Amino acid sequence: MKTIIHNDRKVIDIQLDFNRQFPFLNLEFFDLSTDALSTHINSGERYPDVLVSDLRESGANGELVIYPTMTIMQLEHTLYDEFGLKAQVFFKSGHHWMRTSLNGYWQLRHKNEKGHRICRSQQESV
């Protein structure tokens, strides 16, 4: 999957690109200046309706290639190291989005499949 990272692009557009490939994962972006510490990410404000340029002080524009076999940690590091964007991957657990901080070594496709299984089993138990 490919998505364009550009200063004039809205964060929501990048999220939609990501969700087409991984519907049980959510890619959240944070403001580097206000959410500097990772401990604040769970409660930090998320910014889907802003431009990429509003969330970074530096970083290149370009094409981000996301592979299903990429780990969560690889994606988050690539976004930060290459594009200057602080992001976290969340997975769907029922009706909630859960942070994946302890699951950084999971491949995106496996975490997406796990989210799908959790949602399906919760629907079946209702």
Segment 48-97, tens digit of pLDDT: 789 999 988 888 999 999 999 999 999 999 999 999 998 989 988 777 78
DSSP secondary structure of the chain: -EEEE-TTSBHHHHHHHHHHH-TTEEEEEE-TTT--SGGGTTTSPP-TTSBGGGT-SS---EEEE--TTSBHHHHHHHHHHHH--EEEEEEEETTEEEE-GGGTTSBHHHHHHHHHHHHHHHHHT-
Please state the pTM of the whole predicted model: 0.85
Segment 34-52, tens digit of pLDDT: 545 444 455 556 667 899 9
Q: What is the pLDDT of residue 66?
A: 97
- Which pLDDT band, with edges at 50, 70 and 90, does 101 fall under? low
Domain limits for position 43: 2-124
Q: What is the pLDDT of residue 4?
A: 96
Domain count within the chain = 1
